[in-house]
Each structure stands twice: as C-alpha cells, then as structure tokens.
C-alpha cells in the first residue's frame, strides 16, 4: 500500500501527515511521542492501510509540521481535528505512543467528535520525566540527549541509529524539545480514567526503561473494560521494533470491539 506525505491548513499554520489507504468511514490516526514524528509508524501505515484510511500525524513542531512557533497541547488537539476535517473522517481510533498517549487522553477529555476507541502504547496517566533529561536540556548537550534517547527508547543501539538520532535532534529546534518536555510534565489524567467509555487497548514492553510496564498496566487497570497486552521485550517502541506482534494485538482489539472491519 502506497504511503503519501500530505499537508493541510491548520489553525496554527500547516500540519503534515502520512496517509495509507483512502477508504471512507472510520480511520486510524497515529500520534507519535515527544521528539518523534510520523516516520516511526511506517509498519502500521503499511498494515492497517490495506483496509482503512490510516494517518500518521506530524504533531505541530515536529517533522515538516514545524513552522517556528511554540507549540502547545491545544495545537496538538487542533491538528487532529483539522486533519479529520481535511480528510472527511467522521470517526476514528486514536493510537498514541508515550506523549502521544497523553494526547489521546486529552482528546477524549475534550470530547473529540467521532472518537470511537484508543490504543495507548508505552504511556501512563502521568508521564515521568527523568531529571537526567532535564539536566541535559539545561546544558544543551545534543550528543548526550541522542545517546540517552537511543539508549532508553530502542533495544537495538547501533551506531547508525545513534547517528540518525543525533542528526534529527540537531535539525529540531531546542524550543520544540523543551516544549515537549514541559507538555509531558503537565499531563495528568489519573482523575478521568474511570470515566472513559470507549474501548481502550494498552500496550507495553516488560523492559521499557522510559515508562515502566507497571505504569502502563496501572493506566489500563483504571479504565473500565480496557485490555492490557504486555510483550516480554526491552525498548519503548513495540510498534516499531516488534510490528508483527503489535499489529496482531491491535487487529484483535479492533475486531473484538467492531471498530474496524
């Protein structure tokens, strides 16, 4: 299935996104985490795009969506709404990773029109931010930041991967990185979990060093009727490093809840 990179007008400027499949009806919208972008969802675009419109956003301030402004959580929610409008999406399942999971919970809290279900990946109701990360940002040490991110996020720590991470971080505005951290620090959805009334799947790796598996399990435990899937793997990005198992778990969730045919 061919993937295309598109842009649409948003209330803050423009937002870019990758799209696979152009089916009518309910869509899947993928929301990346802090200091990330839509490229991490290549395997999900390829897999789910064969039967439903599948969109991976570049949140404001990230990837080609960057336009020099200080992005906010309001901008993140607005980008989802604007892409849904541009693509004529009446209903969606949000799949959010890490900070993106918090974005999904915020979208639910704000009553996003057409939100039918959520897949919350390697995330929590309150996002932990390492004091080491805060210190690295204070010192503006991009080499240390790249090594910290690769070491904590990915299980395969190759020189090539570190090189790509450094290149991406150096191309990203320091303000964008710091804004992401500030947004994460302000996210707290513990008080609303019991009121969630759409199907929810939570997914985590047992060896996640960024947001512990126990925190994701606790998130799932607080949401009525939710499902929790744990992979016995290291790393913070199960959808990228173990796409076959991840996609199968999401397929089962979508089928069992009649979300996507």
Q: What is the pLDDT of residues 199-237, one digit of tens each?
A: 999 999 999 988 999 999 999 999 999 999 999 999 899
Return the pLDDT at 164: 60
- For the chain, the helix, strand and coil percentages under 3-state DSSP, each to the nearest 5: 45, 20, 35
| DSSP letter, residue 38 | G
Q: Dig out the tokens for 208 from the structure.
A: 């996640």
Q: Could you tell me if 21 and 2 are in contact, meaning their C-beta atoms sit under 8 angstroms apart?
A: no
Question: Which residues of the chain are modeled with pLDDT < 50?
Answer: 1
Return the pLDDT at 64: 85
Q: Dig out the tokens for 227 from the structure.
A: 């499902």
Return the pLDDT at 7: 77
Could you please state the CATH topology (level 3) that the domain comprising 3-126+188-256 is classified under.
Rossmann fold (3.40.50)
Q: In the block, which residue shows the tokens 């990330």?
A: 36
Return the pLDDT at 86: 92
Return the pLDDT at 171: 65
pTM of the model: 0.90
Beta bridge partners of 120: 96, 202
Q: How far apart are CA 254 and CA 53, in angstroms?
A: 14
Other Cβ atoms less than 10 A from the Cβ of 39: the count is 15
Domain boundaries, the chain: 3-126+188-256
Return the pLDDT at 167: 64
């Amino acid at each position: 299935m061919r993937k295309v990179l598109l842009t649409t007008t948003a209330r803050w400027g423009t937002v870019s996104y990758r799209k696979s499949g152009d089916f009518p009806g309910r869509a899947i919208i993928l929301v990346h985490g802090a200091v990330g972008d839509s490229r991490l969802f290549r395997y999900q675009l390829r897999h789910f795009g064969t039967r439903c419109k599948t969109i991976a956003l570049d949140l404001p301030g990230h990837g080609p969506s960057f336009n020099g402004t200080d992005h906010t959580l309001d901008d993140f929610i607005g980008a989802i709404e604007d892409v849904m409008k541009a693509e004529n999406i009446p209903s969606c399942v949000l799949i959010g990773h890490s900070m993106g999971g918090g974005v999904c919970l915020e979208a639910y809290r704000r009553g996003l029109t057409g939100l039918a279900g959520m897949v919350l990946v390697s995330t929590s109701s309150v996002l932990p931010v390492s004091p080491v990360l805060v210190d690295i940002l204070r010192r503006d040490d991009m080499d240390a930041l790249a090594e910290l991110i690769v070491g904590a996020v990915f299980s395969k720590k190759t020189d090539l991967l570190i090189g790509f991470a450094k290149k991406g971080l150096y191309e990203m505005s320091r303000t964008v990185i710091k804004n992401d951290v500030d947004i994460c620090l302000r996210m707290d959805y513990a008080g609303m979990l019991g009121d969630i009334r759409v199907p929810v799947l939570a997914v985590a790796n047992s060896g996640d060093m960024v947001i512990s598996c126990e925190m994701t399990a606790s998130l799932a435990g607080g949401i009525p009727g939710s499902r929790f899937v744990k992979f016995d793997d290291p790393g913070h990005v199960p959808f990228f490093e173990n796409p076959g198992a991840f996609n199968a778990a999401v397929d089962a969730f979508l089928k069992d809840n009649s979300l996507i045919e």
